[in-house]
């Protein structure tokens, strides 16, 4: 049971850690900048996608990234999927720093 649990941890830790590293690599240590945000979201999405593709698994991937400036405003995100729960899955990582929020969702859909 212990071994099973720690194995589980490693797999999920790898996914979330990879996404976290993608985000951190692009916007870690920066403040919100309206001029660069387009480039940032594109980079984060590109990096995440490349990382998952390199694993060479038979999945189609959908990567969604939202960056929002920190203000008093609220934001809610939800997703609903119609798929085969045995073969398909998703992962959402929420990241924030002093000036902005970033939410990245990755959906992996089995090919066949």
* Interacting positions 21-80 with another protein (CB under 8 A): 23-24, 28-29, 32, 34, 37-38, 40-42, 44-46, 49, 52-53, 59-80
Which of 6, 81 has the CB closer to another protein? 81
Q: How many residues bind another protein (CB under 8 A)?
A: 71
**Helix H or strand E segment including 51:** helix 37-54
Q: How far is the CB of 3 from another protein (least distance, A)?
A: 14
Please tell me whether residue 98 binds another protein under the rule CB under 8 A: yes
Say whether residue 86 binds another protein (CB under 8 A). Answer: yes
Among 62, 54, 67, smallest CA distance to 79 is for 62
Minimum distance of another protein from residue 63's CB (angstroms): 5
| Contact criterion met (CB below 8 Å) for 92 and 48 | no
Contact 106, 87 (CB under 8 A): no
Question: Which position has the token pair 């976290």?
Answer: 20
Beta-carbon contacts of 102 under 8 Å, excluding residues fewer than 6 positions away, are 23, 27, 44, 65, 66, 67, 68, 94, 95, 96
- Closest distance between another protein and the C-beta of residue 4, in Å? 9
Q: Is 18 near another protein (CB under 8 A)? A: no
CB of 28 to another protein, least distance (A): 6
């Amino acid at each position: 049971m212990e071994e099973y649990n720690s194995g589980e941890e490693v797999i999920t830790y790898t996914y979330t850690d990879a996404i976290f590293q993608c985000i951190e690599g692009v916007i870690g240590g920066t403040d919100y900048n309206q001029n660069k945000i387009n480039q940032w979201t594109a980079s984060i999405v590109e990096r995440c996608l490349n990382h998952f593709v390199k694993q060479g698994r038979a999945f189609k991937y959908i990567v969604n990234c939202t960056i929002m400036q920190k203000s008093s405003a609220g934001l809610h995100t939800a997703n609903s999927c119609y798929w085969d729960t045995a073969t398909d899955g998703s992962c959402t990582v929420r990241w924030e720093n002093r000036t902005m929020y970033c939410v990245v969702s990755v959906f992996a859909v089995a090919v066949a």
